[in-house]
Chains A and B, each alone.
Chain A
Amino acid sequence: MAAVTAHERIAALPALVNGDAAVVRRGRFLTTAFLLGIDEVEYLITVSEGRIASLERGPFLMRPWTFALRASAETWQRFWEATPAPGYHDLFAMKKRGAARVEGDLVPLMTHLRYVQDVITAPRRAALLHG
């Protein structure tokens, strides 16, 4: 079986989040759009009251976003492993090592940090279930 790529993992993200009532409820006060960058490819994730309204693959022309989380495909793959290695287990751990970048308006990110963590680790929880 071919390995699941980072791009395939993120494609599954809306269904994973929207299918998890606890995560959607946790994000019910958040409506925004943020970027998740995998290598040079940008994904615009639009959140509407905790649900993922859309996941769009760039490139984008003049599309607004509040904050951006960027890392290499290899880093995201390791972040999404069922049991990630030290330094790959948390966004800020990767950021501290220089393996991830956090950009833009950080207030909505920090206000809803647990929700955003739940969203970006959804592929990890799927890996735990399906390998």
Chain B
Amino acid sequence: MADLEPIIGRYLRLPLGGRPHRVYFEEAGQGIPLVCLHTAGSDGRQFRHLMLDEAITRHYRVIAFDMPWHGKSLPPAGWQDEEYRLTTERYVDLIMAFCRAFDLISAATQARADDRPVVMGCSIGGKIVLQLALEHPEAFRALIGLESAAYQPPWYDDTSWLHRPDIHGGEIAGAMMSGLIAPQSPSQTRWETLWGYMQGGPGVFKGDLHFYRVDGDFRDRVGRIDTSRCPLYLLTGEYDFSCTPDDTRATAEKIAGAKLTIMREIGHFPMSEHPEQFRKYLLPVLDEIRGATR
């Protein structure tokens, strides 16, 4: 017998910004949809451990897509003459279009509160859930931001380091991200996380960081997030020096009702760098979300 994992991958045809796209996604489990958003410059494989965790997939349908330009989702036709740049608006549109394509979000599901999806994103994905909380609180059962902040001071000025012909893009992305992983994270998952970065297309990581660093300063708006309309959980690893515990704490302090957790022995990539440690923090959150509307 072939030793098959329960994860299933398919392609979704999705118009985005008026152009046809082909978006790869993977899913496992059944129950409440849990849509997972990967970090900048990587792809949905970061969530493979969650998809194999029966404590999660018993109650949650875990779905992770590769953003266009990432993983197995190709860039749109004509990409060769464009500079890829992620913006807040494009990112929200992508997430909403993906959820609508599966009928995860519709007038009908909004009426049946139990069917609404949970969105959990990390880093840029963690930041965009703050915008989802502002714009579309009724569409989601809960939102989870990992390594998420309204603003994080940069640790280097010039993201051009990530995309120039004399420095290997994969090597520099992997080396720079290595410092964001906790020293306690196991070797296999550490290096698998970095492999994801080493595989990114030229300029894609840099283009994602446009959203993270330039278009993603949400300090002026997060105070308007109403957690009574949609619960918001913020979890950050103690070794993350890109989005530090203090950055997340400052954001949580502006949002009444936001639930903050600082995770020990974890860096910027909780779900992929140390899945065993991360689940200790995630499972209680997922249990609470599941029980909250029973």
Q: Which A residues form the contact surface with B (CB < 8 A)?
A: 83-84, 86-87, 89-93, 95-97, 107, 110-111, 113-114, 117
Contacts and interface: CB of A to CB of B under 8 A. Distances in A.
B239 A86 contact: yes
Contact of A89 (B167, B175, B182): B182
Given A92-B241, A107-B166, A107-B167, A114 B183 contact: no
B155 A117 contact: no
Given A89-B183, A89-B239, A111 B167 contact: yes
A83 B183 contact: yes
Interface of B: 153, 155-156, 161, 166-168, 171-172, 174-176, 178-180, 182-184, 238-239, 241
B127 to A, nearest CB: 18
Contacts of A107: 166-167
B175 A113 contact: yes
A92 B178 CA distance: 10
B67 to A, nearest CB: 25
A97 B241 CA distance: 9
Contacts, number: 49
Pairs A-B, 8 closest by C-beta atoms:
A90-B179, A113-B175, A114-B175, A93-B241, A96-B155, A86-B238, A86-B239, A111-B167
Nearest to B155: A96
Given A89-B179, A113-B175, A83 B241 contact: no
Contact of B178 (A86, A110, A111, A117): A117
Given A84-B183, A110-B161, A92 B166 contact: no
Contacts of A93: 155, 179, 241
Nearest to B168: A111
17 contacts: A86-B241, A89-B183, A90-B179, A92-B176, A92-B179, A92-B241, A93-B241, A96-B155, A97-B241, A107-B166, A110-B167, A110-B172, A111-B166, A113-B171, A113-B175, A117-B175, A117-B179
Nearest to A91: B179
A93 B182 CA distance: 12
B223 to A, nearest CB: 26
B176 A113 contact: yes
Contacts of A83: 183-184
B239 A113 contact: no
A113 B241 contact: no
Contacts of B161: 110
A16 B212 CA distance: 38
Contacts of B175: 113-114, 117
A62 B153 CA distance: 37
A114 B175 CA distance: 5
Contacts of A84: 183
Contact of B172 (A87, A90, A97, A113): A113
Given A110-B172, A113-B172, A114-B174, A90 B167 contact: no
A93 B181 CA distance: 11
A51 B41 CA distance: 32
B274 to A, nearest CB: 14
B35 to A, nearest CB: 30
Nearest to A96: B155
